[in-house]
Amino acid sequence: MAILHGARVMVTGGEGFLGRWVVRRLEAAGAVVSVPRHQDFDLVDRAAARRALAAFTPRIVVHLAARVGGIGANQADPARFFFENAMMGLHVVEESRLAGVEKLVLVGTVCAYPRETPVPFHEDELWQGYPEETNAPYGLAKRMLLVQAQAYRQQYGMNAIYLLPANLYGPGDHVDLERSHVIPALIRKCVEAHEAGAATVDVWGDGSATREFLYVEDAAEGILAAIERYDGGAPVNLGSGVETSIHDLVFDIARATGYTGTFRWNASRPNGQPRRRLDVSRAERLFGFRARTPFDVGLTRTVEAFLESRTRA
């Protein structure tokens, strides 16, 4: 990628799940990548954001840093999820402007969409309602990134783009059951149940909710494609365009992990948003991105990586 070869790129959240894959892709494209570590630059503090920009002097900033988690984590710490994500975005964008950053890539979340968005979710529907209650504070904080990007583009001419990825999965995601998303949590539960000979695994909800899953390497590829070929102000979905029910997902993971027991559905726990599937046509039209990894392939790789990490540990 010509625009990236030799370019100084700062990736906030570059040590995180998606961030590590983005850093690898950037380095492979010849970029000079810097990652402000959280212990050195807590971006919730504006002064830390300013120091990071001064230390690394990037031409391009990719803002991935976020406080993230599954439904349980969002319900337990809604104020923290809202405050920290909102403040990180405000500080990174403003300090990037002041530092003269040429291009800013802001990565939002599918959780920003309204609860009752028509399926598939089109970017123009983003403001047609309130997000699903279980993760609304997080979703709204990330939605504010789009407002800020468009305001800065209008007033300052800042080249800030905004991407909306689907639910990510893949090797390297954290598996802490208090914080993890649905796929790593279920992989861990099924593997541990299989090893222990347990007859039953508990699952939140009734299985009726649907999600769209995007393999993390595909997401990183989409972000690089946008850096290279997209300079517009409109938000853009990144996804696979494939909708999977949690019920089907559970049995897919059981097969992939070798678990042969049963599942106990806990309908007293929330399903979250009823359905999720993105309209992914804008990304393909504007910068040629299309997810390439079939879900069964990505899931197999994810399970294998989890098993390998347990063996190393």
What pLDDT sits at residue 1?
58
Q: For residue 124, what is the DSSP state?
A: G
Helix (H, G, I), strand (E, B) or coil at 221: helix
Task: Give the C-alpha separation, 299 to 230, whole Å.
Answer: 30
Summarize pLDDT for 221-271 with one digit per residue, the tens.
Answer: 999 999 999 999 999 999 999 999 999 999 999 999 999 999 999 988 878
Q: Which of 113, 138, 152, 230 is catalytic?
A: 138
For 128-146, what is the HEC assignment? CCCECHHHHHHHHHHHHHH
pLDDT of residue 140: 97
Confidence of residue 100 (pLDDT cuts 50, 70, 90): very high
Q: What is the pLDDT of residue 208?
A: 94
Q: Is residue 98 part of a domain?
A: yes
Dmax over CA atoms of the chain, in Å, equals 61
What's the average model confidence in pLDDT over 69-79? 83
Average pLDDT over the chain reads 94
Q: Classify residue 31: in a domain, yes or no.
A: yes
Over residues 93-108, mean pLDDT: 98
Residue 109 to residues 60, 142, 198, 313: CA-CA distances in angstroms? 21, 7, 35, 32
Q: Give the CA-trace dihedral at 285, 8, 49, 143, to 10 degrees.
A: 0
Whose tokens are 């599954």? That residue is 70
Cα–Cα distance, 246 to 182 (Å, whole number): 9
Note the pLDDT tens digit of each residue in 283-310.
Answer: 999 999 999 999 999 999 999 999 998 8
Across 144-152, average pLDDT: 98
- CATH number, domain containing residue 81: 3.40.50.720
Residue 125 lies in a domain: yes
Report the distance separating Cα 311 and Cα 305, nearest Å: 10
Residue 163 forms part of a structural domain? yes
Q: Is residue 158 part of a domain?
A: yes
> Number of structural domains, the chain?
1
Q: Is residue 32 part of a domain?
A: yes
Say which DSSP state 59 is in: S
pLDDT greater than 80 at residue 159? yes
pLDDT at 137 over 90: yes
What three-state secondary structure class fits 280?
A: coil
Q: Give the rounded percent of residues in the chain with a pLDDT score beyond 90.
A: 86
Where does the pLDDT of residue 76 fall: very low under 50, low under 70, confident under 90, or very high at 90 and above?
Answer: confident
> Could you tell me the end-to-end alpha-carbon distance of the chain, in angstroms, rounded to an integer?
37
Rounded Cα gap, residues 262 and 248, in angstroms: 13
Q: Is residue 197 part of a domain?
A: no
- Is 113 marked active-site? no
In a domain, 196, yes or no: no
Helical (H) or strand (E) element with 222 = helix 216-229
Judged by average pLDDT, the poorest of 111-115, 259-263, 270-274, 277-281 is: 270-274
Residue 142, pLDDT above cutoff 80:
yes
Residue type at 227?
I
Domain region containing 124: 8-173+213-242+275-293
Q: The whole model's pTM is what?
A: 0.94
**Nearest-angstrom CA–CA distance, 151 and 158:** 9
- 193-235 pLDDT, tens per residue? 999 999 999 998 999 999 999 999 999 999 999 999 999 999 9
